[in-house]
């Protein structure tokens, strides 16, 4: 049995394919040269039915990632939206993770990707808490990775490209083998970037800091959500370069991401952060985010796309 919670169908370039049959050729360009860009989105159960959180923003980032890699997505945003809604319905899921992926398929090998077809697949499945069930309340223990994040002019971090996750895997494997839940990578200039699959926030003296876009980060949709919500709660949010040692002396630290949502960090390199448990700012932001995604408060930003 697979670790992933299998659903019934996967959408592949226009067709609903049974989960077990959603296959590509082993000589597809993507397998050899990481020629793919993707997204990770969540749909939540609300009183008014299933709602996809910030779908348009994720879609925009998918087309942006493809643009950077000179890939032309052979479907319009409207087509991908309809495909996703239909897929969630046909799989009978009321909350799920959504993984659209755009990849170079089978035609020829060799680095030059241009002749290989650009194909699209979308999968949906149930995915629980990314860093463990207790992580959302108890927080996680993390380390500063010995691996750096890639520089902007190497593998552009703003593109959510599969190749970037070779670096992410080095960070994650090291952390896991050393007994930590996650690693935080520094940039080549030694400022802080992000976790292997999450953005990072820091609270100190009542102000909130997060690495700026030039810090080798993915421009996270949850990051943007948290910046918006924190400002609404009256906090000053500063996007800047963050030196490593700021991590250790933070009052609170937390990760953000579609999969990780808002996950508190309770220690870095075995140094307890603040009181060593989830802090009040982290908790307030979690409560605000969860109330919005579950449709419990008014969706003033138009962030929810109801599928019915």
- Closest CB to ligand PPE among 24 and 259? 259
Estimate to the nearest angstrom the gap between the alpha carbon of 249 and the chain centroid: 26
How many residues touch ligand PPE (CB under 6 A)? Answer: 16
Site string for ligand PPE, 206-225 (x = CB under 6 A): ------------x-xxxx--
CA 53 – CA 164 distance, rounded (Å): 24
Q: Is 199 in the site for ligand PPE (CB under 6 A)?
A: yes
CA 19 – CA 21 distance, rounded (Å): 6
Could you confirm whether 288 is annotated as catalytic?
Answer: no
CA 237 – CA 228 distance, rounded (Å): 9
Longest CA span, the chain = 56
- Closest CB to ligand PPE among 247 and 260? 260
- Closest CB to ligand PPE among 28 and 210? 210
CA 254 – CA 184 distance, rounded (Å): 11
Contacts (CB under 6 A) with ligand PPE, residues 238-277: 256-260
CA 241 – CA 252 distance, rounded (Å): 17
Contacts (CB under 6 A) with ligand PPE, residues 55-94: none
Sole binder of ligand PPE in the list 119, 141, 182, 194 (CB under 6 A): 194
Q: Which of 263, 238, 261, 265 is nearest to 250 (CA)?
A: 265
| Least gap, CB of 110 to ligand PPE (angstroms) | 28
| Least gap, CB of 234 to ligand PPE (angstroms) | 23
Q: Of all residues in this chain, which one has the CB nearest to ligand PPE in the complex?
A: 40
- Closest CB to ligand PPE among 217 and 273? 217
Q: Is 104 in the site for ligand PPE (CB under 6 A)?
A: no
Q: What are phi and psi of 120, to 5 degrees?
A: -130, 135
Which letter, b or e, does each residue of 42-51 get, where b requires 16 or more Cβ atoms within 10 Å of its Cβ? bbbebeeebb
Q: Is 183 in the site for ligand PPE (CB under 6 A)?
A: no
| Least gap, CB of 171 to ligand PPE (angstroms) | 9
CA 268 – CA 281 distance, rounded (Å): 18
| Least gap, CB of 125 to ligand PPE (angstroms) | 12
DSSP state of 21: G
Contact 189, 208 (CB under 8 A): no
Site string for ligand PPE, 136-175 (x = CB under 6 A): --------------------------------x-------
Q: Which two tokens stand for residue 121?
A: 């697949």
- Closest CB to ligand PPE among 194 and 252? 194
Choice among 89, 160, 172, 270 that is catalytic: 160
Q: Which of 129, 126, 127, 122 is nearest to 62 (CA)?
A: 122
Sole binder of ligand PPE in the list 11, 12, 34, 40 (CB under 6 A): 40
Torsion of CA 21, 58, 147, 237, to 10 degrees: -160
| Least gap, CB of 260 to ligand PPE (angstroms) | 6
| Residue ranges that bind ligand PPE, judged by CB under 6 A | 40, 168, 194, 197-199, 218, 220-223, 256-260
Catalytic residue numbers read 160
């Amino acid at each position: 049995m697979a670790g992933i919670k299998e659903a019934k169908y996967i959408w592949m370039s226009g067709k609903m394919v049974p989960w077990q049959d959603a296959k590509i050729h082993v000589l597809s360009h993507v397998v050899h040269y990481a020629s793919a860009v993707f997204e990770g989105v969540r749909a939540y159960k609300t009183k008014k039915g299933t709602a996809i959180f910030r779908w348009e923003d994720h879609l925009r980032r998918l087309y942006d990632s493809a643009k950077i890699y000179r890939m032309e997505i052979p479907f319009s945003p409207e087509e991908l939206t309809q495909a996703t809604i239909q897929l969630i319905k046909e799989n009978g899921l009321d909350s799920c993770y959504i993984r659209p992926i755009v990849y170079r398929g089978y035609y020829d090998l060799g680095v030059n990707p241009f002749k290989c077809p650009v194909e699209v697949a979308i999968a949906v499945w149930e995915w629980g808490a990314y860093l463990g069930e207790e992580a959302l309340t108890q927080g996680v223990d993390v380390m500063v990775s010995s691996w750096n994040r890639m520089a902007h002019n190497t593998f552009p971090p703003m593109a959510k490209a599969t190749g970037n996750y070779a670096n992410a895997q080095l960070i994650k494997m090291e952390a896991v083998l050393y007994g930590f839940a996650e690693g935080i990578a520094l940039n080549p200039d030694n400022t802080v970037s992000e976790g292997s699959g999450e953005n990072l926030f820091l609270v100190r003296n009542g102000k909130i800091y997060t690495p700026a876009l030039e810090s080798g980060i993915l421009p996270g949709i949850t990051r943007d959500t948290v910046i918006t919500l924190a400002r609404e709660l009256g906090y000053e949010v500063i996007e800047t370069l963050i030196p490593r040692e700021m991590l250790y002396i933070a009052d609170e630290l937390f990760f953000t991401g579609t999969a990780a949502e808002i996950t508190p960090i309770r220690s870095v390199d075995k140094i307890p952060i603040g009181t060593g448990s989830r802090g009040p700012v982290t908790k307030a932001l979690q409560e605000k985010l969860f109330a919005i995604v579950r449709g419990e408060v008014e969706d003033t930003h138009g962030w929810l796309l109801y599928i019915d």
